[in-house]
Amino acid sequence: MADLLGDFPRNSEQGYSDDFEKVDKIPEQDEAITTTSFTGEEAEEDRYESDTWLKNVDPRVLDLVYWRDVKTTGVVFGSMMFILLSLSCFSVLSVLAYLSLAVITVTLSFRIYKNVLQAVQKSGDPHPFRVYLDMDIDVPEDKAQMALKNITRHVNNTSRELRRLFLIEDLVDSLKFGLLLWVLTYIGAWFNGMTLIILAVVSVFTLPKFYETYKVQIDNYFNMICCQVDGVMKQVQTKLPFLKKKEKAQ
C-alpha cells in the first residue's frame, strides 16, 4: 500500500510535468502560425506595391509581355518582328500594299471555296465572314474622349518638363539631360530609327520576363549601383556647391 501511495505522487508529478510541457508547446505553435501568416501578408503587400505601376496597363498586354500564353505571345511577337523587318528592307507603302494584297488573297480564296462548297452540297450556309461583318468596330465616343484626354495630359507634362530642362530651371537636371542627349548622338550614329524600334520591341518581350525570373538578384545589384551613384553625387555636390538642387519654396 505504501508503495502504491509512494508511486502516486511521482506519477502525478510526471503527469503534471507532461501537461505543462504540452501547454508550453502550444503558444510556440500559435506563434509560428502567426509569424507565417504575417510573413505571407507582408509578401503579398510587397508584391502589390511593386506592381502598382502596372495598374494602368491592360492585363492582356501584360499576359503577352510575360509570356503567360506562349502560343499567343509567339504569334504576336513573330508578326511584329516580320512587319518591322519588312519595313527595314522595303518602303512603308510597299509593305502595306503587299500585306493588304496577301490578306485579300486569302479572304477571296476562302470565299470562293465556300461558294463552290455550297453549290456542290446545295446548302444554305451564311456568309463565311458574317460574324466579322456584323461585329461592331466603331470606337465609342467616351473611350475616344478619354484617350484624347490622356494624350493631352501627357503632351502637356512633356512640354512643361522640356521647357524646364532647356531653360535651365535646375542646373543638375539640365546637365543630366544634356549628357543624355550627348549619348543619344552616338546611339544615332550606330543605329537608325527602325533598328531602335526593333530593339525596343525585342526588349519589351524579353526584359520583363527576364526581370520576373531574376528579380531578387537584379534588385540587389541595382540598389548597390544606386548607392554608389548617390555617394559620388554627394561628393561632387560637396566640392561643387552650386550643383546642389535648390529647394522649392513652399
- Cβ(110)–Cβ(130) below 8 Å: no
- Give pLDDT, residue 119: 85
User: How is 41-63 classified by DSSP, letter by letter?
Assistant: HHHHHHHHHHTGGGTTS-HHHHH
What average pLDDT does the segment 213-240 reach? Answer: 87
Flag whether 162 is in a domain.
yes
Q: Are residues 116 and 160 in the same domain?
A: no
Instruction: Classify the phi-psi angles of 67: left when phi > 0, otherwise alpha if psi is within -120 to 50, otherwise beta.
Output: left
- Cβ(62)–Cβ(201) below 8 Å: no
Q: Are residues 117 and 157 in the same domain?
A: no
* Rg (the chain; Cα; Å): 34
Rounded to 5°, angle at Cα 188 from 182 and 190: 115
Flag whether 214 is in a domain.
yes
Q: Are residues 132 and 147 in the same domain?
A: no
Where in the sequence is the domain holding 185, given as residue range(s)? 143-190
Q: Scanning the structure block, which residue is given the C-alpha cell 465609342?
A: 140
User: How far apart are alpha carbons 80 and 204 in whole angstroms?
Assistant: 12
Residue-wise pLDDT for 145-167, tens only, equals 999 999 999 999 999 999 999 99
- Neighbouring residues of 129: CB distance < 8 A, sequence distance ≥ 6: 107, 111
Flag whether 53 is in a domain.
no
- Give pLDDT, residue 127: 84
Flag whether 151 is in a domain.
yes
Flag whether 58 is in a domain.
no
Confidence of residue 111 (pLDDT cuts 50, 70, 90): very high
Q: Are residues 205 and 166 in the same domain?
A: no
Compute the half-sphere exposure of residue 139: CA atoms within 13 Å on the CB side of its CA.
7
Confidence of residue 249 (pLDDT cuts 50, 70, 90): very low
C-alpha cell at 13: 508529478
Residue 2, pLDDT above cutoff 50:
no
- Neighbouring residues of 85: CB distance < 8 A, sequence distance ≥ 6: 198
- The closest of 38, 34, 37, 15 to 26, measured between CA atoms, is 34
How many domains, in total, are found in the chain?
Answer: 4
Q: Are residues 165 and 204 in the same domain?
A: no
Flag whether 46 is in a domain.
no
Q: Are residues 2 and 20 in the same domain?
A: yes
Q: Are residues 128 and 89 in the same domain?
A: yes
Residue 134, pLDDT above cutoff 70:
yes
Confidence of residue 47 (pLDDT cuts 50, 70, 90): very low
Flag whether 171 is in a domain.
yes
Flag whether 67 is in a domain.
no
- Give pLDDT, residue 243: 62
Which ranges of 2-91 does DSSP label H, i.e. alpha helix? 2-50, 59-65, 70-89
Q: Are residues 186 and 204 in the same domain?
A: no
- Cβ(240)–Cβ(164) below 8 Å: no
What average pLDDT does the segment 118-130 reach? Answer: 84
